[in-house]
Structure formats: structure tokens, C-alpha cells
Structure 1
Amino acid sequence: MCRIFGSFAAGAARPEPAELSAVSARQRHGGPDEHHVLGGPGWSLGCDRLAVTDPRGGRQPYRLPHLPGILAVLNGEIYNHAELRRHLAARGHRFPDRCDGTVLPALYAEYGPAFADHLDGMFAVAVLDLRAGTGHGPRLLLAVDDMGMKPVHLHHDPADGSTRFASEIPALLAFDGVRISPREDTLDTVLATRTPFSARTALDGIDVLPPGATAVVRPGRPPLVRRRAPHRAPAGDAPASAGDAQDVLRREVRRLVRAEVPVCAITSGGLDSGLVTALAAEYARETDAPPLHTFHLTYRGTWPGSESAYARSVARRARTVHHEVAVDPDELGSLLTRTVRHLGQPNADPIALSTYALFRAVRQSGFTVALAGDGADELFGGYDRMRAALDAPAGADWAGAYTDALSAAPRMLREHLYTPGYRAFIAERGSAADRIEQELRSAEAVGAGRLEAMTAFETRWRLPAYHLRRVDHLSMAWAVEARMPFCQPSVVSYARSLPPEARRGKRALYEAGRELLPAAVLNRPKQPFTLPIAALLTPGSPLLDTVRELLSPARLVLGGRLRADRVGRLLARQLERPSQQDALALWGIAVHELWSDVVQGMRIPVGCAA
């Protein structure tokens, strides 16, 4: 697990060491163990390493003596690296260590741009091929895993044909040649979908490689991006009945819990993390390993919706060493600024603060790897909005209601808050919500069922952007590798093989949990792991002053997108009658305003809009 970066251009100039050091410094929190950069005429390749697999080996960029001219860097974990190493060794390749990424130059030498088709894991990979006489000339290849667990951000400059990339947006902005500006529709995107979902980010000029994609970059040309066929689990690995969910998940948990560094689990108190916790603890007992440690986040004081009792119940049943991390609400204002800075683009879900604080506690307790339950709701139909859409009668606007449920502010509210000019701009350009509704309706029109349409959208766009990118950035903010068994190919293939009734409401997972989890956890109402934002945006709350400052009338009038008087009345209504909907809308606006400030501080070049 690491942070990676680099550049590729047609010119002969070598990148300046000071520039590359600045890029590395912006994401070194995710790779504190080693820092290495290589550069030459028109190219650079760098890595900030978090040493997990073969901590004493695996120096990046990876190079093999018998393959001069091929270099690679890796962010993530390749779980099938031992099998790949045996296969490549049989073809004559030799490796200096057991590190997973060491196989990448040889794998590329054998398969070219199709190398990523052979990788099983979570990864963002960059391969630089500088060999002469190959027929294709020098080229840079970038690839990410099928679910988008490990992102890579790109900037292509059409003026000089250069391409730069980095694991995190703040690092990418440290390259001298990056020219960007915030997108004018970002506020609407934040309120309509909470964060940008597509390959475009909130910054015009920066893209994120889509899940399961490989990009080929040639000197002077823009990246050519293609989506690969999904990685399939070997035949027989994905049982076809709902009753086998426990078996397929057990295999993945056991594979992912093995590491050469301390491993723990995140236990929210819900079904998904509870299953991962129970199976990881089971493996520890069977192998006579030390007991599994589990982490749960709560807040000092009494707050609605606390899941602490459920998390303790899971931990007792699994016999783990349980850590209950209580955050002081007085700290939330500073946590907000830090999370916005690390994410690089706005995410209006208050869960970001909880995620950041939780992984901080994991790292401070001495753990480098944490297992998490992300991905289950998307694959197994767990969200309330999915159930509501399936229950909607024929002819009902299920797609519109489903899309509104994704928002920080429903359509009518956000249009009420916009100035006439901004409302007209969004109407002309189209909202992110409009595009989602169209995608869902188009899928249904060509014969896909509602569940298939929603699952495809959730896994292709929302899960990578909204959940996985947040988990990646905020776990790596504390140099913690988050591993997610539900996002592994065998579990994904299994979920997609189930009949719709077994996926509806996570029925298959509830069956899997009967023998493993307390009845109170199985029978409780669904609840997201998040910040109690409605209760925290009330008189006397330590967050209120921060939000009120970000929503000041003078500031909103200057932005020209929001009617300050209507935002003020919304805030007054929240203070008088707290509600989740109003609080989330106010939070989304505040996050967008703070992000605008943070981006401005990340060195937007002169002449670009703020």
C-alpha cells in the first residue's frame, strides 16, 4: 500500500527534483516508510511506501535487472502475487524479493497492456515502458482494480501534451504544469449526489480513472482509456445459492486477514462489518493467532443513534479485544478542515469525519491493516432507497425518488436555494441527478430489471466515488491499509449470480449471519455509520459556529450561486426544529464552501478561477 505519482511528456527536459519533492510531500502521510523517485528526459515515477507485504523488500519504483526500461509503481495489494510469481518464474523471470509489486515489470513484459487482466486485488498501477525498438515507442500505462478501491487522478495538458498523475488530488496540484479550476456545477453536484460520481472530478482539468480501466499514454497524446472485462473468480468459486454466502465470504476474509503487519477490524455494530469481524476472529482462533482487535467509533456525551451497544455485542460474540473510540465533539470543527483537505474534492456526507477519526485511532493503537465491510449494500441490495424503488408500482417515478434519496438536498429544496442565474445555468447544463435518472430509466427501457439497473449504477459509479475513495484517502491519511472482502471478485461474482429475491434487502447476508452474529444485531433496523449531524447542528453545538461562518450572507452573496436569505431561513428552521434533511443540506453547502477555500490554498495558478 502506497501513494504513487509521476509525469510523462514528449520533451527532453528532466522534471525538477524540487517539484517532485513537493508532490511527494503532499501525500507522504499515506506512505511514511520509504520515499523514492526516478526521473529522466520527459518522465518521472515516484512512490511513498507503506510497507505491508515483504516490508524489507519491494523498493519502488520496481525494476528487474533482466528487463531494463520497464519500471512500475503500485498503490494497493495484489493478493494473487504468489501464483503470478510462480507462473512468471517458470517463464524465466527472476525476482529479488517476495513483495507483491515486484512481479509487475515481468507481468507487463509478458502481456503488455493486458497485464492488469491478471491481477487480483485492490490496486492503482503505473508502468513506464522506456524500451527502444519495441514498435510502440515509449509509453505510460495506468490501471485500477475492477471496483475502484485504489484511485489514480490524471491531468493532461493539451498545450504541451504532458500527462501527470497522483494518488491524491492535492499531490497532483503540486506539479508545476497542472492548470485547473473548480467546476461551475460542483455545488449542484454536491447537493444532488453528495460528491462527484463520474470520471470527472470537482476540478475542471482533473479526471479519475474509472473502475476496471486501463489508460495508455503516448508522448504528446491524451490518455486512451478502456474498460477491461471484469476479473472473474475461477470456476466453482462462486456458489449459486444464498446459503453459501458464509462460505464465499469466509474464504475472502481468511485471505485478506493474513499480513506481515498487525491487522484489526472495523466493527460498526451492523450486519456487514459484523460478518467480517466474526469470520476474521474465527480464523484467528483456528490458527492460534492472538485475538482479533476491533474498533468502533462513538462520541463523548449522549447522542441519538449510537451503535456502541451493538458493536460491543458483536465483539463479545466474536471474542475480540474491543476498542471503543470516543471523539470529543469540540474537535469536530478541526476534523472537518482536515478531511476536506485530504479528500481533495467535496464529500457532503458527515461520515467523512467519523472515518478519519476512526482510522486515526487504529494507527495510534499500532495497526497497519484494517478489515472493513464496505460494498455489501451495493452488491446485495441493502439500501432503503433500493427497497422503495422495487416496491414502487408500475408507472411511478421510482428513478426520480431513488435519485433524490442520494442527495444532500432534494431537488425542490436545492432549486429553492439557488439564485435565478445559477438555477438557469443548471437547467441548461443538466444536473448530475438528471444524468443518473436517465441512466436508470434507459437501463430499465432496454430490459434490465430495476434491481439490476440500480446495482450496476451503485457499483460502477457511486461505490467507488462515494465510499471507496473516501475510505482510501482517510485511512491512508493515517497510513492504514483498509481491506474490503465484499469488494473481492469472488464475492462480487457470487452476488451477481444470485436470483433477485436473494439480493433484495441483503437476504443472503442475513442467512449467513444467523450462526455468527447476535440476534439483536440481525434484528435491528438498518442504520448508516455516520455523524449525528442533525443533533450537532443545534444551539450550543461546537460545530454550529463553524457552519454558521461558512454560510455567512456576505460569503454566499459573493459566490453568486445561493440565495443567502433562503439559506439563512433554512438554518433558522434547523435551529428551531432540527431535522436530518435540513441539517444535511446545510452541511453540504458548508462543505462546498470550505472545499473552495482549501483548493484555493493548494496553489491554483494565476489566471485560473477560484
Structure 2
Amino acid sequence: MCRIFGYLGYDFVDAKRLKAVSDLQFKGGPDQQSVLSESNWAIGNNRLSIVGLDGGEQPYVGGEHIRIVFNGEIYNHHALRKKLELKGYQFTDTCDGTILPALYAEYGTEFVRYLDGMFAIAIIDLRDTVTLTLVTDPSGMKSLYYYWDEQKQTIYFSSELPSLLAFERIPKQLWLSGVDFYLTTKVVFGERTMFDGVYALPPSSLLHARLGEKPKLQRWSTHLYANIPTDNLEETAAHLRKHLGEEVNSLLLADVPVSTVNSGGLDSSLITALASGSNDGIHSFNLSYVGDWPLDEKAYAREVAQRFGTTHHEVLMDPRNFQKLLPSVVTHLGQPNADPITLSSYALFEAIQQAGFKVTISGDGADEMFGGYDRFAEAVHTLGDWVKPYIGSLGVADAHQRWELYSDDYRSFVKENGSIEDHIEHTLRQSNRGRLDTILSFEREYRLPSYHLRRVDHLSMAHSVEVRVPYCQPRILDLANRLPDSWRVDGGKVKKLLYRTSEGLLPDSILTRKKQPFTLPIDAMMRKGLPLFTAIEQALDRETIRRQNVFNPKAVEKLLQLQATAPSGKTALTLWSLAIFQLWLDQFQVSISSSKQYQFEG
């Protein structure tokens, strides 16, 4: 696991600047820093040693022409190594990334189709005209951002946004349409970021950049398939349990101890159960809050830990300290994410690191793979139009409230360029697939990588912790794509196949409990007189908001008064989201201009 960065083009980035870029993602790879640079290009990495601790030095070199840096894990590297050795390739160590130059030399860019894992890879090929190829995994588990400077004919890339901005060639300009995007979906997703001109590579992407030419993005598909029958529910459930167990067993392989995150819900409980069946002495981690708050799941997590004999860690977070964490969380995320669980995630990963673990396995992605959210069931069973209610379920505030929050000038901007809600609606209505398949495809392609996986990636690596995500592995993704609707959402119930897979293994209390979101209960915590309310109030400075001219300060003040007198979850989340946005603007010194036009790339 590492952080990677680099550039290709006619700009010249000196060693001091490359060191600054590297240092800003040092926590993601504190075990080694390295960089290789020549005329017109440089690639570098920060290494977090997980596999092959004594080897794996990057950049990897393949002959005279191939240079590679790599972030992630390749779980099938032993099998690939054996095949390559039969073809005459030799390797100096057992680190998973060491096989990449040989794999690329053998298959060219097709090499990526053989990889089982999570990864972001950068390849410099020195044959003929120098080329840079950037690659991401099928689910987007590992982030990679880039900026193309048309004037300098140079592309810059990095695993994290603060690091990318350290190249100092990249304007910290607000993508103005991102504000409407953010409040409509809680995060900017797809290829766009909140920084104008800065892009995120989507899942299953190859970005080719030839020296002197504009980069070109293409998509790729994996050779890995599930090979699980989907004709009979009971047989498929049995196969899935076996296959998930094999996936978890692969993810447990490391040269450092591996733990699990156990929230007390179905998804993480099943992962903890399967991990305990493969390895003795599993440590599980659960986060809860000091005091008596809604949505507390620690009793369920304890029951799972007792059932499977894990060494269980209950991480207690004091809400009085939330405001102290906010700046760090905003910085490490790099752009606004409206989910309050970001605070809890940050604290949880810090506790995992302090307990001596570099690796943990989480249950993220199960809802998107197997149909786990209530909004899926509501959309499937809605009579008449389902698209607008579904889009409404994604956001911070509904369309009417967003309109009230916007300044007059920003309303005019949205009117002229079209709202993000309209663009998402157009995308969904163009689908020729069934209702549930349309939703799940949309969520896996756009929302899962941006809203969930980047949060997990950035906040875990802020504490030098690697999170492995079995539900997002390519074979599980392949299986999920082939399931009939009734095995996912049926009769108002969600994740039917995954519940059936877990029967007889997990405690009945886990299987029969009401599903609840893994989130921070901010509606209870953001009350007048409590520290979090004070922090949010301070972040939403009236004069600053007036000067920025994106939001209406009177509308924001009205929300603060409403939360103070008649608190609710909806109001609290809206205020939280606005405050996160303001903190992001301030910390990154983002400039605001109304000159940029709206463009949705979906």
C-alpha cells in the first residue's frame, strides 16, 4: 500500500517541489519515500509496507523502458508470479507489486485485466515517445486525481488532492456547479471534483498521456469472473458464503497483523465471522460515543465478537472533541463530503493504528452490491415515477430548500446551466435496464467510489492504515451484476441473498434487527449549548457567506435558529454540510468565480 504521484510534460518540477508533493501524503506511506525523475517526467511513491517488508522498493524498473509506481494490493500476485516465471521472468523479492513491470512487458496495458485487488498504478514507458498510463481498479477502491495544464502541455497526478495541489501549477478554483452537485448528492462524484479542472479517475479506467498530447481516458474490463451459479437461491447463498470466505482469506494475507471493522451490522459482522473462521486471534474494532445517543450498535458488535472469539476493541469517541477533529478531516478528504460519519471514521482508524494494526477489513460496498438501502426498496415499489424521489433520497436538502439557500446570483447560474438533479435524471431515464439494475449500476459507478470508498481511503491512510474491502472485489462485483431483482430487494426487504448467506452463521439478533445507517447522530449532538452546534455556528459566519455570494446568509441564519429551537435530522445535516463546505473553502483557500460554465460528465 502506498501513495503515488508524478507528472509528464514540458513543465519542469524540481526535486524540492516533488518532495513537497510527497510529504503531503506521507502518512499514507511513512515507511519509504522515493522518486525517479528525468527530463519531462517524474514518478514517486510513499510506501506503507504490508507485503514483502524487506523488498518492494519503488519505483519498479522493468528493463530500460518501464518504470512503475503502485498504490494498493494485488491478492493474486503469487499465481501471476508463477505464470511469469514460466515465461522466463525473474524476480528479486516476493512483494506483490514487483510483478508489475513483467506483467506490463508481457501484456501491455491488457495486464490490468489479470489483477485481482485494489490499485492505482502509474506507468512510464520510455519507448519511442514517452507515455504515462494511469490505471484504477474495477470498484475505484484506490483514488487517483489528475490535472491537465493545456498551456504547459503537462499532466500532474497524485493519490490525494492536497498533494496534487502542492505541484503549485494547479489553480485552487471552485468548480461552481459543484455546489449544486454537493447539496444534491452529498458529494461531487464521477470524474469531477470541487476543484475546477481537477479530475478523479473513475473505476476501471486507463488514462493514456503521450508527451505533448492531451490525455485520453478509456475503460477496461477484468478477466476475473465469479463462476457462481445463479439459478437457485439456496445454492447461490451457499456458494456465496464459500466464495466470500475465500475472498476474506485472501485479504487476510499480509506480513503484518490484520484486523476487522465490526459496526454491529450484517455486512461487517459477516466479514468478521468469516475472518475468524480463517485466522485465529482476529482483533475487531467498533466505534461508539461517550454518553447515551441514538443509533448505538455496540451491543450487537459485542455479541458478534463473543460468538466468534475476537479480541474486541470498543473505541469511545467523545462528542465534545468533534470540533477539534473537523479541520483534519476536511484536509485529508481534500473536498467536501457531507456524511458526518467522516468524523467517526477518522477516529476509528486512528484507534486501529494506535492498537498496532496497519491493515483492517471493512464491510463497505455490500449495500451497493446486494441492494441494501431503503431507497432501493422505495424506488422499486414506487407506483409511477421513481426517478425524482430516488434522486431526492441522495441529497442534503430537497430542491425547494436548496433554492432557498442559494443566493440570487447562484440561482441565476443554476437556471442558466441546468441543475445537477436534471442531469442525473436524464442519465437515469436514458437507461434501458430494469429499475433496480439502473439504480445499482449508477450507485456503483458514481456514488460508491466517491462518497464511500474515497472517504475510507483518505481517512484510513491519514493514520497509515490500509482498509481492504472484500465486497468490492471484482468477482463479487461480477456476481452482483448477475443477480435477479428478487434476490436483492423483495417485498420491501433488502439484501435478501446476503441475509440468506448469513443464516446459521451470524446471531439471530443481527439477522432480525432493523437496518440502521452507520453514521453520526448529529441531530441529537447538534443542539443549542452543545460544542458541535457552537462549532457549526462559528463556521457559518454571516459576513463570509455574504461576501462569497453563493448562499443566502439570511437563509443560513434561519436554519441555525430552527435547529436551536426545533432541532431535526434534516436541519442538522444541512447545517453540517454547509459548515463542511465553508471549512473546505477556508482551509484550501479556494477562490470563487462565476465565470465557469456547468458541465456534467456522466
TM-score, normalised to structure 2, is 0.95
| Cα pair 2:226 2:476 within 8 Å, conserved | no
Counterpart amino acid of 2:360?
A: A
Tell me, what secondary structure is at the counterpart of 2:123?
A: strand
- Tell me whether 515-524 or 191-200 shows the greater mean CA deviation: 515-524
Instruction: State the Cα distance separating 1:533 from its structure 2 match.
Output: 0.8
Counterpart amino acid of 2:120?
A: A
Instruction: State the Cα distance separating 1:524 from its structure 2 match.
Output: 1.2
Q: Equivalences for 1:520-539 in 2 at 5 Å?
A: 520-539=509-528
| Cα pair 1:475 1:481 within 8 Å, conserved | yes
Could you tell me how far apart the structure 1 residues matched to 2:277 and 2:498 are?
17
Could you tell me how far apart the structure 1 residues matched to 2:269 and 2:424 are?
31
Counterpart amino acid of 2:344?
A: S
Could you tell me how far apart the structure 1 residues matched to 2:232 and 2:19 are?
51
- Distance 1:155-1:328 versus aligned 2 partners, 3 A rule: same
| Cα pair 1:125 1:143 within 8 Å, conserved | yes
Q: What is residue 59 of structure 1 aligned with on the other side?
A: 57
Could you tell me how far apart the structure 2 residues matched to 1:84 and 1:68 are?
22
Instruction: State the Cα distance separating 1:84 from its structure 2 match.
Output: 1.3
Q: What is residue 593 of structure 1 aligned with on the other side?
A: 582
Q: What is residue 36 of structure 2 aligned with on the other side?
A: 38
**Is 1:149 matched with 2:149?**
no
Could you tell me how far apart the structure 2 residues matched to 1:605 and 1:561 are?
9
Q: What CA deviation, in whole Å up to 9, does each residue of 1:510-553 have, x standing for no partner?
A: 11111121111111111111111111110121111111011122
Could you tell me how far apart the structure 2 residues matched to 1:435 and 1:168 are?
27
Q: Equivalences for 1:138-537 in 2 at 5 Å?
A: 138-233=130-225, 235=227, 241=233, 242-244=236-238, 245-284=240-279, 289=280, 291-393=281-383, 395-396=384-385, 398-443=386-431, 446=432, 448-504=433-489, 505-537=494-526
**Is 1:6 matched with 2:2?**
no
- How much is the aligned-residue C-alpha RMSD, in angstroms? 1.8
Could you tell me how far apart the structure 2 residues matched to 1:486 and 1:568 are?
42
Could you tell me how far apart the structure 2 residues matched to 1:258 and 1:78 are?
11
| Cα pair 1:166 1:172 within 8 Å, conserved | yes
Could you tell me how far apart the structure 1 residues matched to 2:580 and 2:570 are?
15
Q: What is residue 101 of structure 1 aligned with on the other side?
A: 97
| Cα pair 2:176 2:592 within 8 Å, conserved | no
Selected match of 2:70 from 64, 67, 74: 74
| Cα pair 1:70 1:105 within 8 Å, conserved | yes
- Tell me whether 517-526 or 70-79 shows the greater mean CA deviation: 517-526
- Tell me whether 104-113 or 382-391 shows the greater mean CA deviation: 104-113
- Tell me whether 52-61 or 179-188 shows the greater mean CA deviation: 179-188
| Cα pair 2:548 2:592 within 8 Å, conserved | no
Counterpart amino acid of 1:419?
A: S
| Runs of 5+ consecutive residues of structure 2 not aligned to the other structure | 597-602
| Cα pair 2:75 2:117 within 8 Å, conserved | yes
Q: What CA deviation, in whole Å up to 9, does each residue of 1:138-167 have, x standing for no partner?
A: 101110001000011001100011011000
Could you tell me how far apart the structure 2 residues matched to 1:131 and 1:157 are?
24
Tell me, what secondary structure is at the counterpart of 1:57?
A: coil
Q: What CA deviation, in whole Å up to 9, does each residue of 1:76-103 have, x standing for no partner?
A: 0011111111111111111110111111
**Is 1:556 matched with 2:529?**
no
Could you tell me how far apart the structure 1 residues matched to 2:67 and 2:550 are?
47
| Cα pair 1:240 1:498 within 8 Å, conserved | no
- Distance 1:578-1:254 versus aligned 2 partners, 3 A rule: same
Could you tell me how far apart the structure 1 residues matched to 2:97 and 2:592 are?
35
Instruction: State the Cα distance separating 1:209 from its structure 2 match.
Output: 0.7
Could you tell me how far apart the structure 1 residues matched to 2:88 and 2:453 are?
37
Instruction: State the Cα distance separating 1:231 from its structure 2 match.
Output: 4.4
Q: What CA deviation, in whole Å up to 9, does each residue of 1:290-338 have, x standing for no partner?
A: x110000111111111111111111111111110000111210121111
| Cα pair 1:379 1:492 within 8 Å, conserved | yes
- Tell me whether 534-543 or 354-363 shows the greater mean CA deviation: 534-543
Q: What CA deviation, in whole Å up to 9, does each residue of 1:541-586 have, x standing for no partner?
A: 1111111011122121111122211211111111212211111111
Counterpart amino acid of 1:409?
A: A
Q: What CA deviation, in whole Å up to 9, does each residue of 1:98-155 have, x standing for no partner?
A: 11111111111111122211211100000101134xxxx2101110001000011001
| Cα pair 1:6 1:45 within 8 Å, conserved | yes
Q: What CA deviation, in whole Å up to 9, does each residue of 1:372-411 have, x standing for no partner?
A: 0011101111111111000101x33x11111111001111
Q: What is residue 126 of structure 2 aligned with on the other side?
A: 130
| Runs of 5+ consecutive residues of structure 1 not aligned to the other structure | none
Identity value in percent:
44
Could you tell me how far apart the structure 2 residues matched to 1:510 and 1:85 are?
37
Could you tell me how far apart the structure 2 residues matched to 1:210 and 1:345 are?
16
| Cα pair 1:80 1:121 within 8 Å, conserved | yes
Could you tell me how far apart the structure 2 residues matched to 1:449 and 1:148 are?
24
Could you tell me how far apart the structure 2 residues matched to 1:239 and 1:217 are?
44
Tell me, what secondary structure is at the counterpart of 1:181?
A: coil
Selected match of 1:578 from 564, 567, 586: 567
Selected match of 2:536 from 515, 527, 547: 547
**Is 1:86 matched with 2:82?**
yes
- Tell me whether 373-382 or 104-113 shows the greater mean CA deviation: 104-113
- Distance 1:349-1:550 versus aligned 2 partners, 3 A rule: same
- Tell me whether 473-482 or 542-551 shows the greater mean CA deviation: 542-551
Instruction: State the Cα distance separating 1:234 from its structure 2 match.
Output: 5.8
Selected match of 1:29 from 13, 23, 27: 27
Instruction: State the Cα distance separating 1:366 from its structure 2 match.
Output: 0.2
TM-score, normalised to structure 1, is 0.94
What is the count of residue pairs matched by the alignment?
Answer: 588
